[in-house]
A and B are shown apart, each in its own frame.
Chain A
Amino acid sequence: EIVMTQSPATLSVSPGERATLSCRASQSIDSNLAWYQQKPGQAPRLLIYGASTRATGIPARFSGSGSGTEFTLTISSLQSEDFAVYYCQHYNNWPVTFGGGTKVEIK
């Protein structure tokens, strides 16, 4: 099973600033990575797949990069609605697994 490790666990950012979230896979997953956003009491929402392709309706301030074992989600200018928990997920093989999440909180 591939282990996904996200860092940091918590990221404190001021509105308007850039946020950079990291996700590392325990072995190469090519570009088979997705990112999700989850707000309290809500279901997750797909943001990015293929490591860098934005899902339908996702604002351009969200961008993903990386391949192999190292990946990054960047939020270029944090809006109030972006404070949430973010999860990465690989789909390179079975079972698909998620990272432990990064909570982006208001600084």
Chain B
Amino acid sequence: EVQLVESGGGLVQPGGSLRLSCAASGFTFSNYWMHWVRQAPGKGLVWVSRINIAGSDTGYADSVKGRFTISRDNAKNTVYLQMNSLRPEDTAVYFCVRDGIVGLTVFDYWGQGTLVTVSS
């Protein structure tokens, strides 16, 4: 069974940092691109970041570029999101997502999400 389990969320002050982790199991992690998608309270879904299989190609939404860094450790079946210079508008549930259909950016498995709250 495919499982994605996020951790690392919490309450942080504006300007602070957090590191999210996503532990994957039930599939060959090193064969899949991975993404982070976020959802502000009561709002819709927003793509945040992507990383390719080797970790050599990454991409970011303009709203987080220069502040967030995605990485992965294929030996540990884990993808990370380092979030720096956090702003109140970064408050959201962050979902770890598998890019599951070859050649398409389609999200076939989602974690349960971890809540990040940026507030003083």
Main secondary structure of the interface of A (DSSP, over half): loop
Interface-side segment among A14-22, A62-70, A71-79, A89-97:
A89-97
Q: Mark A26-40, 1 if CB is under 8 A from B, else 0.
A: 000000101010000
Q: Is A43 in contact with chain B by the CB < 8 A criterion? A: yes
> Nearest chain B CB to A2's CB is how many angstroms away?
12
- Chain A residues, Cβ within 8 Å of B62: 95
CA distance A39 to B72 in the complex (A): 29
Q: How large is the interface on A (under 10, 10 to 19, 20 to 34, 35 or more residues)?
A: 20 to 34
Give every chain B residue within 8 A of A34 (Cβ-Cβ): 106-107
Q: Which residues of A contact B107 (CB under 8 A)?
A: 34, 36, 44, 46, 89
Number of A-B residue pairs having CB atoms within 8 Å of each other in the complex: 50
Contact digits for B86-97, partner A, Cβ 8 Å, 1 yes 0 no: 000000000100
Contact A45 B45 (CB under 8 A): no
Give the bracket for the number of chain B residues in contact with chain A: 10 to 19
Q: How far is the CB of A10 from chain B (nearest CB, A)?
A: 14
A97 touches B47 (CB 8 A): yes
- CB-based contact A49/B47 at 8 Å: no
Q: A87-B45, A96-B47, A98-B44 are in contact. Are A46 and B106 (CB under 8 A)?
A: yes
Q: A43-B112, A49-B101 are in contact. Are A98 and B106 (CB under 8 A)?
A: no
Q: List 20 A-B contacts (CB under 8 A).
A: A34-B106, A34-B107, A42-B112, A43-B95, A43-B110, A43-B112, A44-B45, A46-B100, A46-B108, A49-B106, A50-B104, A87-B44, A89-B45, A89-B107, A91-B106, A94-B59, A95-B61, A98-B45, A99-B44, A101-B44
Q: What is A's interface to B at a CB cutoff of 8 Å? A: 32, 34, 36, 42-46, 49-50, 55-56, 87, 89, 91, 94-101
6 shortest interchain CB distances as A-B pairs: A43-B110, A91-B105, A98-B45, A49-B106, A34-B106, A46-B108
